[in-house]
A and B are shown apart, each in its own frame.
Chain A
Amino acid sequence: MAELRSRARTLRLVTAAVLLMLLALPTVAFAAAARPVAPAAGLEPAQTTPAVTWNGVDVASANSPSSALTISYNAAANVAFTWSSTYAPKANVATARLAMIYFGFALSTRDVPPVAGGLGPSESAVMNWTVGPIQYLVEGIYGVTASLIAQNGSTVWSENFYLKITAPGSILAAVPILVILITVYELYNVARSGRYIRLSAKSPPKTGGSSSSTAEPPATEAPAAPGTEATPPAAESPPPGGRS
């Protein structure tokens, strides 16, 4: 009986540890976080603001979770950054960056350098973006920050938009499956929680466990512990899982 109780406690601890790991996933796996927009020193003020297209669609149209762009977990998207030379000369832009944000941390960050070429009125950077190594882990709505990073590491420009990553069958990614399993286990715990009223009962149930009762209060246990009432030993344990 006591083993069952300690087993339930162990399972609860494991569940809590799994949840903590899920929450810590972005902080452990990926270091870079999105930086706030701060114009780099020495850059010209905006004439024409940079723009980012996602498979040809301007990401500015996906500025809310309800209008998020959709991508399958294993698909690739063509992401194109364009900006004018007067806004940020190519020499000043080190990389174009796309960072997927979860719990305020960058879950995956991808950088590409500007397209090489002669000086022209506009600059660009092109990226073939995929969800990457976490494609089998996650689905759901994520914020994405597209930014241009200067040589000194400061953010020249950035824009936030939302991305909806879909998994096969809507749930076949590791995180939702794990979370659903935890949900089922906890619902099972709730369903049998009524039995735990035995633990808070003043008088322990009769030894023998069967519920075929006659009118006998627990007389056998009474003389055993006159002063120490804090140890209702075997009868205290929660009833085992599915048994009556």
Chain B
Amino acid sequence: MSAASHAAGAGVVLGLVTVLLLQQFFVLDLTSLTTALVDLVIGAIVGGVLFAAIGWGLGRRYAHVHPDVGGPTP
């Protein structure tokens, strides 16, 4: 498991819960099953990709601050 994949996993969950939160906060309408599932899938994909990038950046920063880590495989 790398920093990017760890953050991507968290990002998928965050994408899903964001969709649910937007419905609870009167932004999204999740009445229709297909629309709701599409929203959830989009949220999961966007969250996964976005947070994978963030995790990758955080991993590089961590390796920069802690040179003894060695960094990812060349």
Partner-B contacts on A (CB < 8 A)? 12, 15-16, 19, 22, 65, 68, 101-105, 138-143, 162, 164, 170-171, 173, 175-176, 179-180, 182-183, 186-187, 189-191, 193-206, 211, 213, 238
Q: What is the CB-to-nearest-CB distance from B21 to chain A, in angstroms, rounded to a whole number? A: 5
> Which chain A residues border B68 with CB–CB below 8 Å?
205-206, 211, 213
Chain B contacts with A in 13-71, Cβ cutoff 8 A: 13-14, 16-18, 20-21, 23-26, 28-34, 36, 51, 54-55, 58-63, 66-71
**Which 10 interchain pairs have the tightest Cβ spacing?**
A104-B33, A143-B31, A194-B58, A194-B62, A197-B59, A200-B2, A193-B7, A201-B70, A189-B10, A193-B55
A183 and B17 within 8 A (CB): yes
Identify B33's interface contact among A103, A198, A205, A206, CB under 8 A: A103
**In the complex with contacts A19-B16, A104-B33, A198-B69, A190-B10 CB distance below 8 A:** yes
Q: What is the CB-to-nearest-CB distance from B16 to chain A, in angstroms, rounded to a whole number? A: 6
B29 and A201 within 8 A (CB): no
18 sample A-B contacts, Cβ–Cβ < 8 Å, listed by A number: A16-B13, A19-B13, A101-B31, A186-B17, A187-B10, A193-B10, A194-B55, A194-B59, A194-B62, A197-B3, A197-B62, A200-B2, A200-B3, A202-B72, A202-B74, A203-B70, A211-B66, A211-B68
Cα distance A228–B22 in the bound complex, in angstroms: 49
Q: What is the CB-to-nearest-CB distance from B28 to chain A, in angstroms, rounded to a whole number? A: 8
**In the complex with contacts A193-B59, A197-B62, A19-B17 CB distance below 8 A:** yes
A196 and B6 within 8 A (CB): yes
**In the complex with contacts A143-B31, A182-B17, A190-B7, A201-B69 CB distance below 8 A:** yes
> Which chain B residues border A68 with CB–CB below 8 Å?
26
Cα distance A183–B11 in the bound complex, in angstroms: 10
Q: What is the CB-to-nearest-CB distance from B72 to chain A, in angstroms, rounded to a whole number? A: 5
Q: What is the CB-to-nearest-CB distance from A158 to chain B, in angstroms, rounded to a whole number? A: 14
Cα distance A113–B45 in the bound complex, in angstroms: 47
Q: What is the CB-to-nearest-CB distance from B67 to chain A, in angstroms, rounded to a whole number? A: 7
Cα distance A197–B68 in the bound complex, in angstroms: 11
Cα distance A16–B14 in the bound complex, in angstroms: 11
Identify A193's interface contact among B3, B67, B72, CB under 8 A: B3
A190 and B51 within 8 A (CB): yes
> Which chain B residues border A191 with CB–CB below 8 Å?
58
Indicate the member of B2, B29, B31, B70 with the most A CB atoms within 10 Å.
B31
B13 and A164 within 8 A (CB): no
> Which chain B residues border A186 with CB–CB below 8 Å?
10-11, 13-14, 17
